[in-house]
Structure 1
Amino acid sequence: MTSTAASRPGAEHNGFTGRYLLLLVALIWPAQLLSVTGLLAGNAQSQIAVHFHTTQIAWFVLVSSLIGAFLTPFVMRAADLFGKRRVMIVLTVLGVIGDLVSALAPNFAVLLLGRGVAGFYAPIAALVFAIARDVFPPRLVGPASGLIGGGVGLVALFGPFLSGWLLDGHGWRSAMWFLAAASAASLVLLMTVVPESPVRQERTPMDWAGGLLLGGGVSAIVYGVGRGSDWGWSSAGFLASVIGGAVAIIAFVVVEGRVAHPLYELSMLSRRRVWSVFLATALLAGTVLSAGTISQLLGLMPKIPAVSDGLGFSATKLAWIGAPASVVIILTAVATGWLARRVDSRYLLATAALFAAVGYGLTAHFHHTVPQLMTVGIVSAIGLGMIVALVPVMVIEVVSPAEQARANGLQNMLQGTLLTVVTQLFFVMMARDGRVVQGTQFYLDAGFTNAFRLAAGFAVAGLLAVALVPKLKRLEEAETGEAAR
């Protein structure tokens, strides 16, 4: 590893000075823009499905994840070679282009094309957490990482009201225009506020074969699961995609062991503390971040006897219902960031998994009235707030500064893959008890109930995965900030 020796103004301060506060905002913005995109896309799904008369609305969200999964290996390697900030700027430019195509889309196919191009932006969250470790002083790395992850609470609080204003007053295209403007603002912040990371890897050839095998294998699995309900779970197409993807990933492992300059140092994954943390955090984060899809469809789909058991809320009303839970997410994330320096992160993650499992289990049975939704939503919100704050902290605890970008990329890829697969399984579960009328998919109450039960099951699986994590290096013992140089 090589690094520059340029100093950073204000590094001698222990707290968040004005410069570091501005830097924090500049990094929270691109990281949580993905959450805003997910929220707006999720709330817009019902309008778009009806507008374009499609039963394939799940791909409106999933296509971005598919593209992001394929690109992540190349993006992480490029960041190591050419600089994290520089790569983040390129990704953001492509994100703006994709958002503009989506806003202007004349049909569903072009809309999916736009969301696919916007998928280039998907790996940026991994880079945000990686660059935070490099550009903040050691004392601020933990709190900054927790606040960047916990920013999802701000999105959860204010995002639904923004969504309500846009969708209720101006329609789904206004949400796409907002994303284009927000992406452009992110580009300005990156170019004017965020410094380049001093951490670099030696310039070596790109491992194109490894990247194609890994990205292609993951994408094939995601695509196969996405089409499984249409093809049939025992169909030749589904089996070919999933088995072919698995073979490609196995081939990637073989290739990486033989090339002179591998895309990923797989020896990193041979360490139990690394693979166990990746598995537990990806499974739990993928679950809690995808479960919102169920709540969005439940609240926003219309109430039509024998056809649709949605609650028929406006996006604004749904925002008010979710506001208490959003406040809890923010408070929990901040508290977790503070506790992570004092309490074993494994215990915190296990507690988060338990809250998520209980919350979704309760929601499966109590989701028919506003008081029920507000009450049970707080339980799962505690789990969500803790999980999003812990993910970046635990990755820092198990890898070195030189491994940070690639580690974030691998964890982000695994998390994104699981999020996509879990989301698609939620759609499958809801559609089993649904109805298709005039080309539009509607859902009945049994489908929502079973989907929430499935979410609870995945949270329990995450809890079991936490048991595999060995004792970790404490956050204050990890090399961060100035120590990473």
Structure 2
Amino acid sequence: MGANDDKARRRLSRSAPRWAVVAVLAFAGLCSSFMFTLVVPLQAELPALLNSSREDTSWVVTITLLVAAVATPISGRLGDMYGKRRVAMVLLALLIVGSLIAALSGSIVGVIIGRALQGAVTGVVPLGIAIMRDVLPPERLGTAVALMSATMGVGGALGMPIAAYLAMNADWHALFWLAAGLGVIGLVLIALIVPEDVLRFPGRLDVVGAIGLAIGLTGILLFVSRGAEWGWTSTPTLACIIGGIAVLLVWGRYQLRTKDPLLDLRVAARPAVLFTNIAAIGMGFALFASNVTFPQMLEMPVAGGSGFGLDMISAALVVMPAGLVMMVISPLSGWLERTVGPRPLFTVGAAAIVLAYVFVLLWSTEVWHLLVGNIMIGVGIGFTFAAMPMIIMRSVPAHETGASNGLNALFRSVGTSSASAVMGGILASMSVKIGDIAVPTRGAFELCFWLAIGAGIIALVLSLFIPKQRAAEQHPSLPN
């Protein structure tokens, strides 16, 4: 392992500078996270644009989430086996194809297919983190991972005003042409800058395991994302959650018994990995809670008592600084990870998020209140998202890096999708009519903030149970 690792670094030193590799991987991460907010400014107009019902057009958002959740751990495993760089390029190629399909389509079917293919590119982030582990020395790894992790929030925050501007001033197809262009740039840069993988661990692809994971996760995520619309006690909703859990239980038993499983559940059950992944649900929930509530508060009419009446672009510009903060503090996150370790960094980040939502719960009557609260959330997410991959990588063998980081990204996706469904349901049910518009009440937003505080507290408590790790365990891919 040590010889292969040294060989990887020697190859890197003969090709591109390390900063260039990190920059290219971070750009790919920005492109992938942008896909989640790409169509957000269009959501209200999609039924008219695609000549479909609101229930049907909601799949333009939901399908991306589903594919991302399923594809991320699978792509991580494929990266460990066949090369992380190669799989990352395939995912970017899928982003390009999906964007072109949506850009050239005027029907809802074509747009949904395109958005599904766009969702697969989310796997680029854990793959990029795994590539960094292979090629960077330990003293530089923490900062690079912090930057790569930050892209999961930065891409959406920076992309929101861009998407809003295009939605207001250009044909809606321009959003997908932009996505295709970003995918081409990312693909070319990875092909030219990122070195070929040396650390590979050949094996067979567990096709049965991949199918089982996809079916089980789809059932659970459909329950989370569509339950409010279908009715939480309706037959389709209950069938999704019961069926999804049943399939995952059978899948788990199969994974424990098969050779070369898709995911080594014994590794995933290690306390450090298990507690980190469960806490990741809370962090994903806290992140997306602000993405759902803050833009609505900023854009709602003032007459409702909670809104500020901003236009789409102005609201996006208020939300954007949180993403910039995540990127700016990535060097600090890397230094803190090296100095005090990832577990304290995670605890501090979770505490910052709790304080942020307490702040907006008490003070949210001015635009600057939301700006300050969102920046605090950016600090918390920046710290926790930087800490989680490092905790995972200190706890798993090198051949599990891609799949394990993919699994962590999956748990974050469960948190974000849960926040989207729960917050959306609360804001829709606790609303008042102002003319022809249903506007969420002040109490609805306060309840959302309380739930986000609860999610942050759970993650904070779980972080305290993550075992301390010895210095020799910091980078299992390196010789002790």
Cα deviation, 1:107-152, whole Å, max 9, x if unaligned, reads 4444323211212212221111111111223332222112222345
Deviation at residue 339 of structure 1 after TM alignment = 0.7
8 Å CA contact retained: 2:342, 2:388: no
Specify the SS of the correspondent of 2:376. helix
Counterpart of 2:456 in structure 1 is 459
Deviation at residue 331 of structure 1 after TM alignment = 3.4
8 Å CA contact retained: 1:396, 1:475: no
Using the alignment, how far apart are the partners of 1:406 and 1:82 within structure 2?
12
Counterpart of 1:297 in structure 2 is 296
One-letter amino acid of the structure 2 residue matched with residue 216 of structure 1: I
Specify the SS of the correspondent of 2:17. helix
Using the alignment, how far apart are the partners of 2:31 and 2:479 within structure 1?
27
Counterpart of 2:23 in structure 1 is 25
Counterpart of 2:263 in structure 1 is 264
Counterpart of 1:343 in structure 2 is 340
Deviation at residue 364 of structure 1 after TM alignment = 3.7
Using the alignment, how far apart are the partners of 1:249 and 1:199 within structure 2?
30
Q: 1:122 to 1:7 in 2, by over 3 A?
A: closer
Cα deviation, 1:184-205, whole Å, max 9, x if unaligned, reads 111111211112221111333x
Using the alignment, how far apart are the partners of 1:108 and 1:319 within structure 2?
26
Q: 1:468 to 1:79 in 2, by over 3 A?
A: same
One-letter amino acid of the structure 1 residue matched with residue 418 of structure 2: V
Specify the SS of the correspondent of 1:195. coil
Deviation at residue 95 of structure 1 after TM alignment = 1.1
Specify the SS of the correspondent of 1:414. helix
Cα deviation, 1:186-240, whole Å, max 9, x if unaligned, reads 1111211112221111333x22222211221011110122221222212222111
Counterpart of 1:273 in structure 2 is 272
Deviation at residue 181 of structure 1 after TM alignment = 1.1
Counterpart of 2:38 in structure 1 is 40
Counterpart of 1:217 in structure 2 is 216
Using the alignment, how far apart are the partners of 1:132 and 1:475 within structure 2?
19
Deviation at residue 180 of structure 1 after TM alignment = 1.6
Counterpart of 2:121 in structure 1 is 121
Counterpart of 1:139 in structure 2 is 139
Cα deviation, 1:421-452, whole Å, max 9, x if unaligned, reads 22211111111124799999764444333223
387-396 or 177-186, larger mean C-alpha shift:
387-396
The question of 1:111 aligning with 2:107 is answered no
- For 2:403, which of 403, 406, 415 is the aligned residue? 406
Deviation at residue 360 of structure 1 after TM alignment = 1.9
- For 1:358, which of 332, 355, 359 is the aligned residue? 355
Counterpart of 1:371 in structure 2 is 368
Using the alignment, how far apart are the partners of 1:156 and 1:215 within structure 2?
25
Runs (5+) with no aligned partner, structure 2: none
The question of 1:85 aligning with 2:82 is answered no
Q: 1:327 to 1:208 in 2, by over 3 A?
A: closer
One-letter amino acid of the structure 2 residue matched with residue 295 of structure 1: F
The question of 1:417 aligning with 2:414 is answered yes
Deviation at residue 315 of structure 1 after TM alignment = 3.3
Using the alignment, how far apart are the partners of 1:385 and 1:4 within structure 2?
28
**Percent identity of the aligned residues?**
24
Using the alignment, how far apart are the partners of 1:397 and 1:8 within structure 2?
19
Using the alignment, how far apart are the partners of 1:61 and 1:68 within structure 2?
11
Deviation at residue 179 of structure 1 after TM alignment = 1.4
Q: 1:82 to 1:442 in 2, by over 3 A?
A: farther
8 Å CA contact retained: 2:395, 2:476: no
Deviation at residue 66 of structure 1 after TM alignment = 0.5
The question of 1:317 aligning with 2:314 is answered yes
Deviation at residue 340 of structure 1 after TM alignment = 0.7
8 Å CA contact retained: 1:42, 1:293: no
Q: 1:475 to 1:223 in 2, by over 3 A?
A: farther
8 Å CA contact retained: 2:298, 2:367: no
Using the alignment, how far apart are the partners of 2:175 and 2:309 within structure 1?
20
Using the alignment, how far apart are the partners of 2:434 and 2:120 within structure 1?
34
132-141 or 405-414, larger mean C-alpha shift:
132-141
Q: 1:198 to 1:152 in 2, by over 3 A?
A: same
Deviation at residue 460 of structure 1 after TM alignment = 1.5
Runs (5+) with no aligned partner, structure 1: none
Q: How does 1:112-191 map to 2 (within 5 A)?
A: 112-151=112-151, 155=155, 158-170=158-170, 172-191=172-191
8 Å CA contact retained: 2:96, 2:184: yes
Using the alignment, how far apart are the partners of 1:309 and 1:97 within structure 2?
42
Counterpart of 2:237 in structure 1 is 238
Using the alignment, how far apart are the partners of 1:91 and 1:449 within structure 2?
39
Q: 1:381 to 1:6 in 2, by over 3 A?
A: closer
Using the alignment, how far apart are the partners of 2:244 and 2:462 within structure 1?
24
Using the alignment, how far apart are the partners of 2:239 and 2:463 within structure 1?
32
Deviation at residue 33 of structure 1 after TM alignment = 1.5
Using the alignment, how far apart are the partners of 2:474 and 2:317 within structure 1?
42
8 Å CA contact retained: 2:150, 2:382: yes
8 Å CA contact retained: 2:94, 2:120: yes
Using the alignment, how far apart are the partners of 2:465 and 2:202 within structure 1?
34
Using the alignment, how far apart are the partners of 2:4 and 2:386 within structure 1?
28
Q: 1:295 to 1:103 in 2, by over 3 A?
A: farther
Using the alignment, how far apart are the partners of 1:409 and 1:153 within structure 2?
16
Q: 1:184 to 1:208 in 2, by over 3 A?
A: same
Cα deviation, 1:30-60, whole Å, max 9, x if unaligned, reads 1122222223333443443675575446543
Q: 1:119 to 1:152 in 2, by over 3 A?
A: closer
Cα deviation, 1:71-104, whole Å, max 9, x if unaligned, reads 3343233222211111111111111121223334
One-letter amino acid of the structure 2 residue matched with residue 395 of structure 1: I
TM-score in terms of structure 1 length:
0.88
Q: 1:109 to 1:287 in 2, by over 3 A?
A: farther
One-letter amino acid of the structure 2 residue matched with residue 32 of structure 1: L
Using the alignment, how far apart are the partners of 1:279 and 1:377 within structure 2?
23
Using the alignment, how far apart are the partners of 2:64 and 2:396 within structure 1?
28
Deviation at residue 244 of structure 1 after TM alignment = 0.7
The question of 1:385 aligning with 2:382 is answered yes
Using the alignment, how far apart are the partners of 1:413 and 1:475 within structure 2?
28
